[in-house]
Every structure is written in C-alpha cells, then in structure tokens.
Amino acid sequence: MSRQVVMRDRQAGHAPTGLAQLLLRGVLAGTMIAHGLRHARTLDGTSGWFGSIGFRRPRLQAQLSAAVEVGAGTALAGGVATPLAASAVVGTMAVAYRSVHQPNGYFVTAEGWEYVGFISTAAIALAALGPGKFSVDRLLGLDGAGKPWQRAALAAGLGIGGAVAQLAAFWQRPQPKAAESAPTADSEGRARRLRCRGRHRHGIDSARRDGADYFAQRCGRLPPASGTHRRRRRRRTRRDALMIRTRFTEMFGVDTPISCGGMTGLGTAELISAVANAGALGFLTALTQPTPAALAKEIARTRELTDRPFGVNLTILPTINPVPYDEYRAVIIESGITIVETAGSSPKPHLPDFRRAGVRVIHKATSVRHALSAARTGVDAISIDGFECAGHPGEDDISGLILIPAAVARLSIPVIASGGIATGAGLVAALALGADAVNMGTRFMATTEAPIHENVKEQIVANDERDTVLVFRSLHNTARVARNSISEEIAQILSRPGATFEDVAHLASGTRGRTNVLGTGDMEDGMWWAGMTQGLITYVGTCEAVVSNIMTEAEQIISSRLPGLMEGRHGH
C-alpha cells in the first residue's frame, strides 16, 4: 500500500487494512441475502406471517422485504454505497425490532431483540469505518465521503426513519384476543362486534384478502393443475418445508407431520387439495357427499387439483336413516384411495377389505382404552382427540397433555395428537409428548380454501378459547361446539331433568348448522362445531401459509429456543 493511500486512509478515518471491513461486510451481506432469498422462496408463508403480526398489505411487505434484504446484502458484498446499504439493514432490523422482538425482551432464544440489535449495530459500525479497500466505493473514491460519525448517523437516521415511516403506514400491533364479556345475548354480541372491529383494524382482513388473491391465482376456483404446475407446487412445498421426519411422514408420504382431520361439510376437494399441496395430509369426508357415487366424483375432482397424498374420512355413527357404509367403503377402495381415517364406532367390520386393498387406516379415539382396542383390530395409526377438540371429545374429559403421552406409552403404532393444536408450539409440544404428528380441525376452518362462509372464519379469529360450549353431556354423546345463543340454549335445555334429544333436535340439527351458519354465515342460526383453539387462531390464511407458519415456528422453537434453554439462555 502506498504511503499516500495510508495517509489518505488515516485522514479519512480508515484502518490501513480492509480485512476487518471485508469480514464485517461479508457476514452482514451473507445474513441479509440468506434472509431475503428465504423470504422470496417462501413468499406465501412470509406474507401470511406479515399479516399475522399486524401488517396491512402483507404480500407487498413480503415482496419488499425480500427485495430490500437481497439488494442491501448485494451492495454490502460489493462495498457499494455502503452507508446507504447499512441504512437498509438498520431499517429492516428496526422494523423487526418494533413489530416482533421488542416485547420478548433481550435474548434471541426467546425471540428477543438481541439479534436485531447486534446486526444493526454492526451495520452502523461498518458505515462509520467505511467499506475498506476491497470495495467498489474505494475504487470510485467515494469511501472517504463524510466523517465517520456522519456516515454512522446517516445509516442510523435513514434506517430508523424508513422503519418509522413503514410502520406508521402499514402496521398496527395485533391486539391480544379480548376476553369474552358476560354471557348475555346483548353484551356478547357487542363484545364480538368489538373484537371483530379490532381484527379489521389490525390487518387480518388484508392477510385474508391476500390469501384470497393467491387462492384465485394459484389454486383457487380451481384451475386443474397441469403436470408442470403440479410439479412446481410440489417442488416449492418440499423446498420450503422444514424436514421433521416421523413415522407419520414416512408412513403416509407427506412433507409435514400435520393432518387435517375429516370435517363434515368442509372436507371437500377445495380444502383437501390445498392441504395436500401445502405438504400436509387432509381427509375428504365421505358422508359430506350424499351418495357413494358422489364421493367417487369428489375423489376424482381432488385428484385434478393435487398429485399429493390425501385420504378419506369414514365416520361411523348410529343414525336414524341407515348409511350405506359398505358402498362408501367400496368406492374408497375402487377409487384407489390408500389412506382412510375412521371415527365413531369400531373400524373392525371395514378392516378386512381395507387390508386386502392395501389401505392404511388411522382410527380416531378419545381414550386410551378405545385406542388400544382399535390397535388390536389392526389399524395402522391412532389419532387421539384430547378434551380440547372440536366435535366429540368423549366422556372422560382428559386433556391432550395427559392423553397423548398416556396413549404413546401403551401403543406401538404411530400416534397423532389431535385437539387443541393450532400453532408450531403445539406441534413441538405434541412431538415432545411422543406423538408422531398433529391433527387439526378448527385451524383449517379458518383458511382461505375452507368452503364455508367468511363470517365463520372471521368469527373464529374473533373468538377466544372460552367460546365453546359442551352440548349433549347428559346424553353421553358430548360434543364441543362454538358458543352462540343456539348452543347455549341446547346446553340449558338438556340440563333440565328428563330432557331428551327430541327437545333440542330443532336447534341441534346438523343440516341447519351447515346450511344457515357454514353456508350463509348467519352465526346465530344454528349449531356449528369449533374447538378451544379459536383462542390461538389470529388470522385467516391459505392452507399453505398456515402449514408453512406452523413449520417455521416449530423450527424456531426446536433449533433456537429449546437449545437456548439447555444452555441457560432463557429470555422470559
């Protein structure tokens, strides 16, 4: 290095060697580019996440963040316009600080702001130092512009200013879910309206709208997937998914240990193909179709929309009008379905035919004793529903925290934890309890593709964990349904001595709930099923966003929070 250059370096406040700056630029550039590429590759998941943390126009935010991160990273790598590139880093980190990390405290293991603090400080330091001699700025003679403190102030000021502007224009912190008001019809309605308004204010609508756009464009009203489209979808899903491998993913050939249980009225081609394309395992509900022939058509329609695995749910319940179960079973087999979820009565009468046809059977149970007896009949896996679940939780009132490990301890076949799960934390907890996968119902109701009225999805987001009612307790056929004036009336009538199902049949009719509530969105004109997870569901998004967000959160917990706790780094 010539004497003049060294003198110029000293005057401009640079260290005589560019090695330190090169290292600093390299690590900042690598981090920014890696984040930007990840956001760009998982654009749907990223936009769902932006929506869930309170950003309006979440898809635009996702695109912008990917572009800014890759752009700033590339500029830093080359040492181009270094103070400006550093300001983009500071801005990105400041937005992340305010919208996500600030309330979590300092430590990164608890999603605190340690990481964003370090990155932005390093970027400001780099602006002050200058890019060093291995940089485009140096080649152009721009690296000495301004004094070090001025360059640092420019990076910090521009970055923080940009972040403030972005947050002011697009962001409002989502409110924690409001507690329910006293259960009078008036006050409840008011509380719900307020909660709904809160949700509108805080951008969840836009997440839903963006999801709807995506749905319309990508899978929505639903253009048959060509071979190329299907391959692209599959490649995208596989690349994006965190590879948590369990006996469930291996046995059923899916990317994630997540299933969408059979849901009467919802388990149709639109929802189940979207679940499958998201890398999870969904189940068409056989009895949603009026006849076995209609089920055959629905299976064919689903195949048009996905080439990923999906199954059929066969819920076997005593009914007034006999259901041709054998014919439904025959259609399932003839249609080449290889995964079946059975529920209700014992699957025993159906197993020989399923076995012969090579169909794998998951049986849903609500107690360890029923799970064991199903296992003895030869089913391949057990899906065990805790007391929190939507639908029939059984009569033992045992929560998943006990039921899952109790079942795992007694069963040698894979166990799927069901009921009360809607988040990545729930998935990790279920895996920790020994389950091989999770099954969700209510979470998938609040998706763009769920074929139900938007009011229902909005109500789920607005509701909290107390917005369910147990009905039919006295009839020993307990069902957990969403709280509304109808379900409260049913519970109240059935609590009277001697009350029978006939006393509530007009209120509890499944057809009324499906037509009036799920179909036309009149939330007080029928009984509809939903679980306690309503208290955890904060946005309506595409199935792909929901699955991807759950996997991302699970990844964060497994790879960062839990190891951090082992090292004594607790952030709470």
Contacting positions for ligand FMN (CB under 6 A): 261-264, 266, 285, 313, 315, 343, 364, 385, 388-391, 418-421, 439-443, 445, 529-531, 533
Q: Which residue's CB is nearer to ligand FMN, number 225 or number 266?
A: 266
Q: Which residue's CB is nearer to ligand FMN, number 119 or number 407?
A: 407
Q: Which residue's CB is nearer to ligand FMN, number 168 or number 320?
A: 320
Contact 215, 542 (CB under 8 A): yes
Q: Locate tokens 């389950």: which residue?
A: 435
What is the rounded (10 degree) CA torsion for 29, 35, 41, 45? Answer: -160
Tokens for 259, please give them: 């299933």
What is the chain's Cα-based Rg? 27
The CB-of-318 to ligand FMN minimum distance in angstroms stands at 14
Tokens for 293, please give them: 């022939």
The CB-of-252 to ligand FMN minimum distance in angstroms stands at 16
Q: Which residue's CB is nearer to ligand FMN, number 42 or number 439?
A: 439
Q: Which residue's CB is nearer to ligand FMN, number 83 or number 391?
A: 391
Q: Which residue's CB is nearer to ligand FMN, number 62 or number 440?
A: 440
The CB-of-237 to ligand FMN minimum distance in angstroms stands at 22
The CB-of-324 to ligand FMN minimum distance in angstroms stands at 17
The CB-of-24 to ligand FMN minimum distance in angstroms stands at 47
Burial (CB count <10 Å: 0-12, 13-18, 19+), residue 498: exposed
Contact 379, 352 (CB under 8 A): no
Nearest to 275 by CA among 339, 363, 347, 327: 339
Q: Max alpha carbon distance in the chain (Å)?
A: 102
The CB-of-533 to ligand FMN minimum distance in angstroms stands at 5
Q: Which amino acid is at 243?
A: M
Q: Which residue's CB is nearer to ligand FMN, number 157 or number 344?
A: 344
Q: Which residue number places its CB atom closest to ligand FMN?
A: 441
Nearest to 371 by CA among 338, 346, 340: 346
Q: Locate tokens 């935010």: which residue?
A: 61
Beta-carbon contacts of residue 448 (< 8 Å; ≥ 6 apart): 208, 211, 212, 214, 215, 274, 540, 541, 542, 543
Q: Which residue's CB is nearer to ligand FMN, number 113 or number 283?
A: 283
Contact 186, 453 (CB under 8 A): no
Quote the CA–CA distance of 410 and 455 in Å, as a whole number: 42
The CB-of-458 to ligand FMN minimum distance in angstroms stands at 16
The CB-of-503 to ligand FMN minimum distance in angstroms stands at 23
Nearest to 337 by CA among 354, 352, 350: 354
